[in-house]
Amino acid sequence: MNAILLKSTIGLVVMMVAFTGYGQKSSNTKSPNIIVILTDDMGNNDVGFNGCQDIPTPNIDRIADEGVKFPQGYVTFAVCGPSRAGLITGRYQSRFGFDRTPVFAPSDPEMGLPKTEQTMAEMLKTAGYRTMLSGKWHVGAHAEVHHPNKRGFDEFFGFLAGGHRYFPQDWTFQSEYDAEGNEEHGYRTKLQRNGQVIENETEYLTDAFSREAVNFVKDNKDQPFFLYLAYNAPHTPLQATEKYLDRFKHIADEKRRIYAAMVSAVDDGVGRLLDQLDALGIAENTMVFFLSDNGGPKNANASDNGILRGGKSTWYEGGIRVPFAMRWPAKIKPNQVYYAPVISLDIFSTVAANLGRPVKVKNKLDGIDLVPVVTRPEKTAPDRTLFWRMYDRDLYVARNGNGAFKVLTKPNGNELYNLDDDVSEKNNLLKSGKNREAYDALVKELEAWKKEMAKEPAFLGLAELKEYWEIQRQKKQNNK
Ligand code: CA
């Protein structure tokens, strides 16, 4: 365990980042602005900086080209909700039982981030930041305590559920709280601003999120701000406007064509945001992160995970390795590539360690500060191991942070891969009995990590709820 991790393991930590080293340029003496741009169900190969050929993403690529890209950028779960819970708390979500995706159900107050956790927005509020979420929340919709405005966001524009239709004429419901198990209901609720239903939205959803993000940056240019721009694109349903569809007439496959248009809308939004930072003269000292919440579900939205095996909902690389880049011109030189694994948990730790002002970090963090590791000339990987838990399938993964090996343990047989030689995970080394030492070491670490996690999930998932409803229905019938 390295020094950064040790530092972050002390319960309630007050991080004091020395101002020395910030005084070289006047623009560096101020605390950095923070922007996290998250896409939804985007394939690893669907950005230019990862080699995408058929969908130009010049604006998203600016983040990588003017900063650092992470070819091995991971998220903590292979579907939306738990991945977002890990990102926004900087902690493995299994520590607090967020092992399932929140769904529509009879009101379940446990179905959200528990108060024991601190969100990145709450952390940044302790440092005096202005905060906004524009987009999808998906880490609590059933109780007021889970609302973004109650979890550190001064401003919230968007929706609370797991997905959404893209055209305002489809938004017919007033509230997400009375959905009664119907996910489609959640996709059709009107957007809200700080709890107030919006009746007059006219823009394509992705454009609306971009507009609000740009306005927030403009309004808060004179003070440190945190913008969490969480697009639901390019998650299904596949819907785009002619403006974006017209760019992809050459793509024959209709699903891929609409998907490309949806990605292009995100790229336009990212461009508007980056241009705004330039126009305000604050780009230099604004940290911008870009990533997807999980890998692409090829069959659902025609996304492309390239040579990676599997996709969304699988624990092969295609499910958990995502497009991932960071830009912070004040500290990070352009055109950097950091080859060792990083994980979405590192964003919280990086932000907390680089504010240039005191901040209260409530819990033990699971990530590391990326700034020193990507700016070291030798770019050595920290000595750590990354872990995943899929409780409902009794599936666990451990991945060397500074080596090549990845272990999957599961009921139908364990697997070991050397990702340096075999990034497509075709050759299960356990079959040949090779690299047994690496396997044993990872399994041992995994067993220790499992003991730190919550015993079981904090709330029911869709499959468990269906079972629950069936039992309730039978009880009712028997009582008649
Ligand atoms: Ca997702």
Q: What is the Å distance from ligand 1's center to 478 Cα?
A: 40
With a cut of 60, say whether residue 12 has pLDDT above it. Answer: no
Compare 181 and 145 and report the one with higher pLDDT. 145
Q: What is the Å distance from ligand 1's center to 276 Cα?
A: 27
pLDDT of residue 13: 40
Q: Does some domain include residue 288?
A: yes
Q: What is the Å distance from ligand 1's center to 180 Cα?
A: 22
Q: Does some domain include residue 250?
A: yes
- Tokens matching residue 13: 């930590």
With a cut of 50, say whether residue 31 has pLDDT above it. Answer: yes
In this prediction, residue 178 has a pLDDT band, given cuts at 50, 70 and 90, of: low
Q: Could you report the per-residue pLDDT of 75-101, keeping only the tens digit for each?
A: 999 999 999 999 999 999 999 999 998
Compare 129 and 21 and report the one with higher pLDDT. 129
pLDDT of residue 403: 86
Calpha distance 254→242 (Å, rounded): 14
80 included as an active-site residue = yes
pLDDT of residue 465: 77
Q: What is the Å distance from ligand 1's center to 235 Cα?
A: 7
Region 240-248: what's the mean pLDDT?
Answer: 98
Q: Does some domain include residue 256?
A: yes
Q: What is the Å distance from ligand 1's center to 98 Cα?
A: 15
With a cut of 60, say whether residue 416 has pLDDT above it. Answer: yes
Q: What is the Å distance from ligand 1's center to 165 Cα?
A: 15
In this prediction, residue 107 has a pLDDT band, given cuts at 50, 70 and 90, of: low
In this prediction, residue 466 has a pLDDT band, given cuts at 50, 70 and 90, of: confident
Q: Name the nearest CA neighbour of 210 among 145, 260, 167, 157.
A: 157
Q: What is the Å distance from ligand 1's center to 3 Cα?
A: 33
Region 259-287: what's the mean pLDDT?
Answer: 98
Q: Does some domain include residue 270?
A: yes
With a cut of 60, say whether residue 7 has pLDDT above it. Answer: no
Q: Specify the CATH number for the domain of residue 158.
A: 3.40.720.10
With a cut of 50, say whether residue 103 has pLDDT above it. Answer: yes
pLDDT of residue 181: 53
With a cut of 70, say whether residue 15 has pLDDT above it. Answer: no
In this prediction, residue 60 has a pLDDT band, given cuts at 50, 70 and 90, of: very high
Chain mean pLDDT for the chain: 91
Q: What is the Å distance from ligand 1's center to 450 Cα?
A: 24
Compare 1 and 259 and report the one with higher pLDDT. 259
Residues of the chain with pLDDT > 70, as a percent, come to 92
- Tokens matching residue 325: 């880049």
CA angle 417, 394, 309 (to 5 degrees): 35
Region 372-401: what's the mean pLDDT?
Answer: 92
Which amino acid does the sequence have at 250?
Answer: H
Number of domains in the chain: 1
Please identify which of the residues 52, 80, 146, 164 carries the catalytic annotation.
80
With a cut of 80, say whether residue 120 has pLDDT above it. Answer: yes
Q: Does some domain include residue 469?
A: no
With a cut of 80, say whether residue 404 has pLDDT above it. Answer: yes
Q: What is the Å distance from ligand 1's center to 294 Cα?
A: 5
In this prediction, residue 240 has a pLDDT band, given cuts at 50, 70 and 90, of: very high
What is the pTM (predicted TM-score) of this model? 0.92
Q: Does some domain include residue 239?
A: yes
Give me the domain span that covers residue 118: 3-20+31-375
Q: What is the Å distance from ligand 1's center to 84 Cα?
A: 9
Compare 349 and 11 and report the one with higher pLDDT. 349
Q: What is the Å distance from ligand 1's center to 358 Cα?
A: 33
Calpha distance 148→138 (Å, rounded): 10
138 included as an active-site residue = yes
Q: Would strands 395-400 and 405-409 be described as parallel, antiparallel, or unpaired?
A: antiparallel
Q: Could you report the per-residue pLDDT of 303-327, keeping only the tens digit for each?
A: 999 999 999 999 999 999 999 999 9
Please identify which of the residues 138, 142, 147, 164 carries the catalytic annotation.
138
With a cut of 50, say whether residue 292 has pLDDT above it. Answer: yes
Place of tokens 């797991």: 162
pLDDT of residue 406: 98
